[in-house]
Amino acid sequence: MLRIGKQSISYRLSDIHIDYVNETDSSSHIETYIYVAHIDYIAHNAQEIKPMAEKEPNTTATQGGVKVLRVVNFSHPLSEVAVEQLGHPEIENVRVQIDLDAPVASQIVKIVDAVETPLDGTTAGLAIVLPGMSEATAYILAELHGRMGGFPNIVPLRRDDEMGVFVVANEGAQSLDRVRRAARGRRA
């Protein structure tokens, strides 16, 4: 992923995926380069990445650097606009009905157990639409993290008042694992 300001671009170099982040602190004019490489490949400088990355852009990255092939929807059914924005992925709608007079955690376990999509971290292009109830969302994220071994990709939705429907937010589908990795760098 190349991020300059608010723009992101992902690159795939054969079977090696490299995230390249260039952040500029406008107050001090300091540029920071961070390389995150998978499959034990280590990039040593920007010159090594840029020429290779420019030759072979990842054309499958469509939403915030996350290619959405399948959606597990724990919210209301997605609007036609949102489905189109996501590229018409397979969608599994999961009913989330919470009894607030009973323990929420055990209800969430049953809800997630009912999901047909494999939630073991092996489903490529999986993204989650979270429910609007914050307590249910927190438990679902904890349950999914435990089952998947990491945080899922999410599809943030925003209400479009002109159309009267929820649409995919401008930033597109997001990897919560990337958010977590970035936050680890800010740990005290």
Q: Where are the chain's structural domains?
A: 2-59, 70-178
The upper half-sphere exposure of residue 18, i.e. CA atoms within 13 Å in the direction of its Cβ, equals: 25
pLDDT exceeds cutoff 80 at 22: no
82's enclosing H/E stretch is: helix 80-85
Q: What's the DSSP call for residue 63?
A: B
Q: Token pair of 155, please?
A: 């599809």
Distance CA 166, CA 88 (A): 16
Cα dist. 101→37, 57, 96, 104 in Å? 47, 51, 15, 9
Q: What is the pLDDT of residues 27-39, one digit of tens each?
A: 444 444 444 433 3
Distance CA 16, CA 11 (A): 9
Q: Answer whether 0.75 is exceeded by the pTM.
A: no
- Torsions phi, psi for 11 (to 5 deg): -125, 145
Average pLDDT over the chain, rounded to whole?
76
Residue with tokens 């955690």: 105
Q: Which pLDDT value is given to residue 121?
A: 86
Q: What is the pLDDT of residues 114-169, one digit of tens each?
A: 999 999 988 999 999 999 999 999 999 999 999 999 999 999 999 999 999 999 99
Query: Are 173 and 72 contacting, i.e. CB atoms less than 8 angstroms apart?
Result: no
Q: What is the mean pLDDT of residues 9-28?
A: 42
Shortest CA distance to 66 belongs to which of 87, 42, 40? 87
Q: Which pLDDT value is given to residue 9?
A: 41
Distance CA 98, CA 95 (A): 10
Q: Which pLDDT value is given to residue 156?
A: 96
Helix, strand, coil in percent for the chain, rounding step 5: 25, 30, 45
- Confidence band for 64, pLDDT divided at 50, 70 and 90: low
Query: Are 166 and 157 contacting, i.e. CB atoms less than 8 angstroms apart?
Result: yes
Residue with tokens 């992925």: 89
